[in-house]
Amino acid sequence: MIIYVARRLGQSVFLLFGAITIVFLALRVIPGDPASLILGSQATEAEREALRADLGLADPLLVQYVRHLGEVVRLDFGESWRLGGDAFAGVLERLPATLTLAGYALALTLLVGFPLGVYAARHTGRFADRLVNYLALTGQALPSFWVGIMLVLVFARTLDILPATADGTPLALVLPAFTLALPFLGWLARLVRNGTLEELGKDYVRTARSKGLSEQVVFNVHVLRNTLTPVVTVLGLVLGNFIADAVIIEQVFAWPGIGSLMIESIVNRDYAVAEAAILLIAVFYIGLNLLVDVLYFWLDPRITLETV
Amino acid sequence: MVSTHSRRDFLKISSISLAGAYLAACSVGGGDQGAAEQALRAAFAQPINDLDPHGPSSVDESTLLAGRLIYDTLIRRDGDKLVPHVATSWEQPDPNTWVFALRDDVTFHDGSKLTARDVKASLERVKDAGTAQSALWTSVSTVDAPDDTTLRVTTSEPLGTMPVNLTLMFILPAAKMNDEGFFRKPIGSGPFRVEAFTPSDELRLAAVDYWNGTPKLNRVTLPFIPETSSQITALRTGDLNVLWPIPPDQLRELEGLDEIRLETVPSYAYYFTWFNCGREPFTDPRVRRAMWRAVDVAGTVRNLFGDGAELMTAPIPSTVFGHAPQQPYEHDPDAAKRDLAAAGLGDGFRTSLMWFSDTGPLADALAQAMISDWAKVGVTVEPQNLEKAEWLRRLNAKEFDMDLQINTVTTGDADFTLGRLYDSQADRMGYRNPRLDGILRRAHQDSDRRTRGRLYGQACKIIWDDAVGIFPAALISTYGLRSTVEGFEPVPSNQPDLRGVTLAT
């Protein structure tokens, strides 16, 4: 077990290294650089060259890369030219807002998606099942930015019962969290429904029933536990997706998270902030995957190191 | 169905997560909902990224807007006049020397006194910052503060724009301005002090006892809302008290509402379409003029922008000092074709137009309208809608045929735009005219307002007649105000003075 976790940790470090390298290269390959954005269109080429040298952008790419790796290890990405001050601190400052939104959306996904799936499974083929299935598909199919704007139009502009943007009130969380959760909520409901149905057809369920256990016990104790394994896998990925999807949602709802920060920093070639933000998202994604793998053992004792 | 037991769990879990969300949301936005307080929520369309008024954002309208509320300047703009502010008076004993007399009753928010040493340190800081505003101060050679209330500035060549440039030069406390992290909660001497600042998200300000009129508001919050429809919704629902500038195509969303008042003022921002005058066939002024005549500028501006823009009559907006109205180019496709034929382009030609979508409101539509008008005279224009950084790179490298963009005359003085863009040495778009260079240089150096006005009038005519670019529309800033907002004065700079604003209850 410990060996397995250690091996996965090693893989994660390798993945992170890859992510850092790709981000570093991608940002420098795309045209335009911080020097011209800082100086605007009025500066001369000589002034831009001088600033490039100042910022260390005139050095060979390999030198910049090695220096960047050093920065990453020390978690010091340098100054953000656009926001002033330490870039990593600037990103960390925005992190709680994104995590709050993702956490709340996850809760919403679980609390609505899971019961819906179970309900549909227990009423297979009936109207409720078909309705859940239909709604789930619709939720998955609608693009988030459109849903966000529509929700603002209906609940903020027309009905005026919820704020359109992050104005500091707890109600402001409702629309963005729902928009973020919607596609995954449907996904989860369908996954739980299908997983539950599959489990219900298995031998152990027949055995449990023939032992004379009540349907409640069969379902709540045996079946649900076994449907949890795929659900946990999905949730790990979903949480990672929440953080990535938040980029769009944060823009629509003026939510002060790292998503909107990242977009702006890329557009403005604020390398330090972009690198810090993307690295943080990568760490989350990789960390969650690791967590999911470890959770398997706990949830399903049948899984052994040989099977993974 | 779910058992009673798990239903109770469900409720327990949901109430916990709701409470958690409540706490979290409070910490995200601050959750400050003062009741009897005069608290204004005002949103400007661009984010405030940096409160350093001398740094990389020094000529961004959003940083200037924040600067006007937090800091002081020596001279202030009041309408089209320049009026004393921290400087009570100034004189020019010789063309290269300026002497300013300063007030001695101005204090910073930490209680320390503002002296000429602070002004000296600030001016030297902005001059050496290597940022967009530094370019205004290159000819400053020495700054002296012989005593607390006297500032002496000498220049290597006469700088007639000294007073107007000083309206952008914010004064920081010399003792603290270089401290680590100073600009996250900077100290100024302006009417408001910084309570909290999250870059490109929200700035929260509180009023101070100000030497030049204490603000009537207690608090001002300036949130940034990226999505236009969310901005409009927030204003309509009362989440915001003020929003500006409102894009022309969004005006109808706010028109005819009792609780919302729209106020407009012509701004310092305008569109131009430059020709790369160093590239064939735009080296020939006849081709450039024909391209202008081919476009139905008046119709396009009216149809696209409505009340959101005015047709330009000079290469700078009518609000800017130095504007002199010129003879308009009539829309005449036939004449355009004849002129192109006379220039040897009777069969038309292929060229390209570059821009980036966020340069200003309706940029894509404006580009498309011009391109379709050019197609009617046989000129095929490839649309090049670029990403901002790539656009800037190509603009700087002069890798373009035509360039459409917004430009802002930040100081409200023609020198800021004409003097810096059309000079042969600046070489922005390949246009070279020694006569224009001479006029612009004299206007830059002269400090007599009437002489400068006359010189810029000549410059406007040359640039217009030579069709260095097409100058279609100057934007009109529309401010959306809740009807409870009183005493708000819209300004062309997009940097309103909030001292006189009150909220009716």
What are the tens digits of pLDDT across the range A45-75? 788 888 888 888 888 999 999 999 998 888 8
Distance CA B489, CA B493 (A): 11
Distance CA B499, CA B205 (A): 12
Which long-range contacts (C-beta less than 8 Å, at least 24 apart) are formed by B391-396?
Answer: B391/B354, B391/B355, B391/B356, B391/B359, B392/A32, B392/A36, B392/A37, B392/A40, B392/A41, B393/A31, B393/A32, B393/A33, B393/A36, B394/B354, B395/A41, B395/B354, B396/A36, B396/A41, B396/A43, B396/A45, B396/A48
Which of B27, B28, B241 to probe the A interface (max A CBs under 10 A)? B28
DSSP element (H, E) containing B145: strand B140-147
In the predicted model, what is the mean pLDDT of residues B373-380? Answer: 96
Going by C-beta distance under 8 Å and a sequence separation of 6 or more, which residues neighbour residue B160?
A: B415, B443, B444, B445, B446, B447, B448, B452
Distance CA B382, CA B373 (A): 13
Angle at CA B35, nearest 5°, toward B31 and B39? 75
From chain A, the residues in CB contact with B390 under 8 A are 30-32
pLDDT at B17: 43
Domain with CATH 1.10.3720.10 in chain A: 89-299
Task: Please indicate whether, in this complex, the C-beta atoms of A164 and B230 are within 8 angstroms of each other.
Answer: yes
Distance CA B310, CA A19 (A): 49
Is B9 a residue whose pLDDT tops 50? no
**Structure token digits, residue B117:** 């040493």
Q: Å from A214 to nearest chain B CA?
A: 13
Task: Please indicate whether, in this complex, the C-beta atoms of A39 and B51 are within 8 angstroms of each other.
Answer: no
Full set of structural domains in chain B with CATH: 72-182 (3.90.76.10), 267-476 (3.10.105.10)
Record: fold of A89-299: MetI-like fold (1.10.3720)
Among A121-125, A293-297, B417-421, B463-467, the least confident range: A293-297
Is A295 a residue whose pLDDT tops 90? no
pLDDT at A217: 81
Task: Please indicate whether, in this complex, the C-beta atoms of B236 and A104 are within 8 angstroms of each other.
Answer: no
Distance CA B280, CA B401 (A): 9
**Structure token digits, residue B388:** 């901002």
Q: Which of A36, A54, A85 sits opposite B181 (nearest CB)?
A: A85
3-class SS string, B95-116: CCEEEEEECCCCECCCCCECCH
Half-sphere exposure (CA, 13 Å, Cβ side) for A143? 5
CA nearest neighbour of B437 among B275, B329, B428, B96: B428
DSSP element (H, E) containing A144: helix A144-151
What is the residue whose two structure tokens read 């798990």?
B6
Q: Which of A41, A82, A172 sits opposite B56 (nearest CB)?
A: A82
Q: Å from A84 to nearest chain B CA?
A: 6
Task: Please indicate whether, in this complex, the C-beta atoms of B28 and A256 are within 8 angstroms of each other.
Answer: yes
pLDDT at B444: 93
Task: Please indicate whether, in this complex, the C-beta atoms of A267 and B135 are within 8 angstroms of each other.
Answer: no
Q: Which of B1, B183, B387 sits opposite A84 (nearest CB)?
A: B183
- Per the CB < 8 A criterion, the answer to whether A52 and B430 are in contact is no
Pairs across A and B, CB distance < 8 A: 200
Task: Please indicate whether, in this complex, the C-beta atoms of B239 and A260 are within 8 angstroms of each other.
Answer: no
The confidence band for B413, taking pLDDT boundaries of 50, 70 and 90, is very high
Is B31 a residue whose pLDDT tops 80? no
Which of A79, A167, A220 to probe the B interface (max B CBs under 10 A)? A167
Average pLDDT over chain A, rounded to an integer: 85
Is B175 a residue whose pLDDT tops 60? yes
Q: Which of B27, B32, B236 sits opposite A96 (nearest CB)?
A: B27
Distance CA B79, CA A44 (A): 33
Q: Which of A37, A45, A103 sits opposite B392 (nearest CB)?
A: A37
Task: Please indicate whether, in this complex, the C-beta atoms of A40 and B57 are within 8 angstroms of each other.
Answer: no
Pick A33 or B154 by higher pLDDT: B154
CA of B29: which chain A residue's CA is closest?
Answer: A168
CA of A159: which chain B residue's CA is closest?
Answer: B237
Q: How far is CA B273 from CA B235, B406, B422, in A?
A: 33, 9, 14
Is B15 a residue whose pLDDT tops 50? no
Q: How far is CA B255 from CA A164, B248, B442, in A?
A: 20, 12, 46
pLDDT at B488: 95
Distance CA A120, CA A261 (A): 40
In tens, the pLDDT along B276-287 reads 999 999 999 999
| Strands B140-147, B150-155: pairing kind | antiparallel
In the predicted model, what is the mean pLDDT of residues B291-312? Answer: 95
Q: Å from A8 to nearest chain B CA?
A: 32
Distance CA B227, CA A179 (A): 15
pLDDT at B18: 44
Burial class (CB in 10 A: 0-12, 13-18, 19+), A32: buried
Q: Å from B185 to nearest chain A CA?
A: 11
Average pLDDT over chain B, rounded to an integer: 90
Strand partners, B408: B269
Q: pTM for this structure?
A: 0.84
Instruction: Report the b/e string of A75-98 with b at 16+ CB within 10 A.
Output: eebbbbbbbbbbbbbbbebbbbbb
The confidence band for A178, taking pLDDT boundaries of 50, 70 and 90, is very high
What is the residue whose two structure tokens read 């008024």?
B53
Task: Please indicate whether, in this complex, the C-beta atoms of B389 and A37 are within 8 angstroms of each other.
Answer: yes
Task: Please indicate whether, in this complex, the C-beta atoms of A253 and B230 are within 8 angstroms of each other.
Answer: yes
- Per the CB < 8 A criterion, the answer to whether B315 and B418 are in contact is yes
**Structure token digits, residue B159:** 């700088």
Distance CA A260, CA A246 (A): 8
